[in-house]
Amino acid sequence: MDIESLAHFDQIVAAGATSMTGWRVQSVDLTGRTAALLELAPNGSVFLGCVLEHGAEDWIRDGGGLVFPAIPELPFDPYRGVLYDADELYAGLESGYDATPDARIYAWSRQHDEKGDTGRTLAAALHDHAIADALTELPDGRPWIGVMGGHGIKRGDAAYRAAVELGRTLAGAGLTVVTGGGPGAMEAANLGSALASYDESAVGAALNILAAVPSFRPSIADWAAAGMRVRRDFPGDGGVSIPTWFYGHEPPNVFAGAIAKYFSNAQREEVLLRRARGGIIYLPGAAGTVQEIFEAVTPNYYGDRATQIPMILVGIDHWTRQLPVWPLLQNLATDRPMDTSIHLVNTITEAAKLVGH
């Protein structure tokens, strides 16, 4: 049983609980609940980063429970029980991007990476485990469709508008849009999902606001502030994003409703691909997008027909001439089950028809 709030703890106690066996209590301040804890058998419980009074902590430890203490001097909670959202990551944005939790966490990760600090490695691993756990708790009733693409696409570009329309089409069809969480094509897809219920005039108004700040360079603060304005004026379900502080110089877009931000890029990529069972659409991109293509190719290549995930590359010229990935995919797919799971199309309309089945 996962307990991630004081209200949930109180509810379970009020319902007559007598044992904490199997409880996983994450980042809950239990100050003032010592009397209640002492009435509960602690064997088999785990407390992660909770605030406990001395008597309660001794009771749990002596009774066979595990207590993982809070780690001091971190700009994040490694035991958090929920995913991020834009309001949390960009809190304090009015004072500049450097004042936000997103920027401070990235700065912390860079500093400790350079030192080779094992304490940093432990804290980051605990955090990413907590994020993975929170991600599994999201509703899974609708197929998740991955949308990958370059971060360099600017707001106002035709390619950006196309990615917005893709996100609208997918969300309008009852699918969950999941992206890598960054700027460019990823932002546009999450934005499109958020705008799925709006008419064309509202979409145009939102894009006009964003076009005034086309890139996160030179000012992440201005870029994010424009996004927050659109998010406020046109609220909606922007789907899910899974960004990483490994690419911390690329800020997370604000339009995803749930943000699963990781330290580990490898773990983030694996989770993203595993959850996008309805298919993955690859818009034109560069090295990062190519990497994501071949990460998905491997399980398709070795899998059977029942395990295939549809992979749709959008942009015939891009994927055959500029970055000739498609010929290699075709060669890999020859006489293998993946031959039916790879597709090359030229429009988002064609791509949208191939996923979610």
Give me the residues paired with residue 344 across strands. Answer: 313
Report yes or no on 226 lying in a domain: yes
For residue 118, what are the CA distances in angstroms to 103, 124, 263, 307?
21, 10, 14, 38
Q: What is the pTM of this model?
A: 0.92
Report yes or no on 56 lying in a domain: yes
Tell me, yes or no, whether 274 and 254 share the same domain. Answer: yes
How far the first Cα of the chain sits from its last, in Å, is 33
pLDDT at 14 over 70: yes
The pLDDT tens digits for 225-270 are 999 999 999 999 999 999 999 988 899 999 999 999 999 999 998 8
Report yes or no on 18 lying in a domain: yes
Among 86-100, 132-146, 179-193, the least confident range: 132-146
pLDDT of residue 111: 84
The pLDDT tens digits for 269-318 are 889 888 898 999 999 999 989 999 999 999 999 999 999 999 999 999 99
Q: How far apart are CA 337 and CA 167, in angstroms?
A: 29
Tell me, yes or no, whether 329 and 312 share the same domain. Answer: yes
Contact 80, 134 (CB under 8 A): yes
Tell me, yes or no, whether 222 and 257 share the same domain. Answer: yes
Give me the residues paired with residue 253 across strands. Answer: none
Identify the CATH number of the domain in which residue 293 sits: 3.40.50.450
pLDDT at 116 over 90: no
Domain total of the chain = 3
Tell me, yes or no, whether 167 and 188 share the same domain. Answer: yes
pLDDT at 118 over 80: no
pLDDT at 115 over 80: no
Report yes or no on 275 lying in a domain: yes
Q: How far apart are CA 25 and CA 13, in angstroms?
A: 13
Report yes or no on 291 lying in a domain: yes
Q: Which domain holds residue 100?
A: 86-136
Tell me, yes or no, whether 218 and 319 share the same domain. Answer: yes
Q: How many CB atoms neighbour CB 220 within 10 A?
A: 22
Tell me, yes or no, whether 112 and 240 share the same domain. Answer: no
Q: How far apart are CA 203 and CA 136, in angstroms?
A: 31
Tell me, yes or no, whether 272 and 346 share the same domain. Answer: yes
278-317 burial, b at 16+ Cβ within 10 Å, e below that, comes to bbbbbbbbeebbeebbeebbeebbeeeeeebbbbbbbbee
pLDDT of residue 114: 59
Tell me, yes or no, whether 100 and 59 share the same domain. Answer: no
Tell me, yes or no, whether 46 and 163 share the same domain. Answer: no
CA atoms within 13 A on the CB side of 122: 9
Which of 120, 136, 152 terminates a domain? The answer is: 136
Tell me, yes or no, whether 104 and 234 share the same domain. Answer: no
The pLDDT tens digits for 151-186 are 999 999 999 999 999 999 999 999 999 999 999 999
pLDDT of residue 18: 97
Report yes or no on 81 lying in a domain: no
Give the mean pLDDT of the chain.
Answer: 95
Tell me, yes or no, whether 113 and 129 share the same domain. Answer: yes
| DSSP notation for 116-166 | T-HHHHHHHHHHHHHHHHHHHTS--SSPEEEEE--TTPPTTSHHHHHHHHH
Q: How far apart are CA 5 and CA 82, in angstroms?
A: 10
CA angle 233-239-242, nearest 5°?
Answer: 115
| pLDDT band (50, 70, 90) for residue 88 | very high
Report yes or no on 73 lying in a domain: no
Report yes or no on 234 lying in a domain: yes
Tell me, yes or no, whether 99 and 197 share the same domain. Answer: no
pLDDT at 112 over 90: no
Could you tell me what percent of the chain has a pLDDT over 90? Answer: 89
Q: How many CB atoms neighbour CB 95 within 10 A?
A: 10
Which of 108, 136, 164 terminates a domain? The answer is: 136
